[in-house]
Amino acid sequence: MVRPVTTPDPALIDLHVHTTESDGSLSPRACVERAAELGLAAIAIVDHDTVAGNAEAVAAGEALGVEVVPGVEVSTEFDGAAVHILGYFVEEAGPELLAVLHGVRQWRGERNPQMLERLRELGCPIELHEVAAQAGGDVIGRPHMAAVMVQKGFVRSTRHAFDQYLADGAAADARPEKVDAGTAIEALVACGAVPILAHPGSMRLPSEDQLEEMVRALAARGLRGIEAIYSAHRDEQTADYMRLAANVGLLCTGGSDYHGASKPDIDMGCGFGNMVVPVSVLDALKEERRRLRA
């Protein structure tokens, strides 16, 4: 039998990882252990609206020989659309970013009880303290509501919970005003962090023209890149977003949106199985950080 000639794996990274501080199922340290097990050269921790897991992950990275980029994924809106802004190299959250994160916390503080009220009206009574206990970490969000709904037998699965009740526009969705994307971008830049538009394929904008318009508007506020490589992006989407980034003069980044058991089909480093983020993406991001701080 002829063995195929194998070349050594190029250094791979994953710039989109969630921990128990938001809606992931692994602790910050356990995420780094998973990265080490997979042989990844680097990961970025980008919990939703909190930097609480970063210090533990960075320390674990130093011990285990995995480069850990401290980051955040901020829940914002632009023109009524939900927009997630990633921030990379959040070494110290400055006053502007702390104010933005406080604003997002207030939004969750309003939205979560509104959603629970709707769920109650829809015949799924779950309590905030149960959802908070499920969350455990720093941020309470919809995946924690979904988990409690499954445990109490109101739905068959997380997917069922989102499709019927929790997804954007579904029956229990509530939309108090959110932090504006441009404000979050400026706050990240103010503390030396590199702001990137997360998963453009998940925004369900009516048209690609609208995406370009939004990207140009956000670039004017300081956006530096687009997460073109992403678990759920089809190859042609990735190619489209790379072209858009080049046209606007932005970087491309990539990550899986790893959540551990909360999204069991997505693994760190490879997403649904075929995502590849080369270490050169991180080199370009570092170069951007240097320019941004110069």
Point out which residues bind ligand AMP (CB under 6 A).
23, 48, 75, 141-143, 158-159, 162, 167, 259
The DSSP element (H or E) to which 13 belongs, if any, is strand 13-17
Task: Rule CB under 5 A: say whether 138 interacts with Fe ion.
Answer: no
Cβ-based nearer residue to Zn ion, 18 or 224: 18
Q: Which of 15, 17, 19, 23 binds Fe ion (CB under 5 A)?
A: 23
Cβ-based nearer residue to ligand AMP, 50 or 253: 50
Asked if residue 62 lies in contact with residue 55, where contact means CB atoms within 8 angstroms, the answer is no
User: For Fe ion, which stretch binds (CB under 5 A), given 23-31, 116-124, 171-179, 230-238?
Assistant: 23-31
Dihedral sign, CA of 137, 32, 266, 194?
Answer: positive
The pattern of x and - marking residues 51 through 90 that bind Zn ion according to CB under 5 A reads: ----------------------x-----------------
- Residue 7 DSSP class: P
The one of ligand AMP, Zn ion, Fe ion, none whose footprint includes residue 231, by CB under 5 to 8 A per kind, is none
Asked if residue 192 lies in contact with residue 292, where contact means CB atoms within 8 angstroms, the answer is yes
- Dist. CA 170–CA 7, nearest whole Å: 47
Task: Rule CB under 5 A: say whether 288 interacts with Zn ion.
Answer: no
Minimum distance, C-beta of residue 240 to Fe ion, in the bound complex (Å)? 19
Minimum distance, C-beta of residue 9 to Zn ion, in the bound complex (Å)? 25
Cβ-based nearer residue to ligand AMP, 267 or 288: 267
Helix (H, G, I), strand (E, B) or coil at 53: coil
Helix (H, G, I), strand (E, B) or coil at 20: coil
Those residues whose C-beta lies under 8 Å from the C-beta of residue 198, and which sit 6 or more positions away, are: 16, 73, 83, 84, 85, 86, 227
Give the residue carrying structure tokens 């063995």.
Answer: 3
The one of ligand AMP, Fe ion, Zn ion, none whose footprint includes residue 167, by CB under 5 to 8 A per kind, is ligand AMP
- Dist. CA 226–CA 266, nearest whole Å: 20
Those residues whose C-beta lies under 8 Å from the C-beta of residue 185, and which sit 6 or more positions away, are: 85, 195, 218, 221, 222, 223
Minimum distance, C-beta of residue 257 to ligand AMP, in the bound complex (Å)? 7
67-78: strand order across its sheet: 13-17, 42-45, 67-78, 81-88, 194-197, 225-230, 251-255
Cβ-based nearer residue to ligand AMP, 158 or 238: 158
Task: Rule CB under 5 A: say whether 233 interacts with Fe ion.
Answer: no
Cβ-based nearer residue to Zn ion, 138 or 257: 257
Number of residues that bind Fe ion (CB under 5 A): 3
For 32-127, strand residue ranges (E) read 42-45, 67-78, 81-88
Q: Which of residues 177-216 bind Fe ion (CB under 5 A)?
A: 198
The pattern of x and - marking residues 257 through 276 that bind Zn ion according to CB under 5 A reads: x-------------------
User: For Fe ion, which stretch binds (CB under 5 A), given 16-24, 211-219, 237-245, 279-287?
Assistant: 16-24
Reading the block at residue 251, the tokens are 């970087």
Cβ-based nearer residue to Fe ion, 80 or 249: 80
Q: Which of residues 58-87 bind Fe ion (CB under 5 A)?
A: 84
Interacting residues with Zn ion (CB under 5 A) = 73, 257
Interacting residues with Fe ion (CB under 5 A) = 23, 84, 198
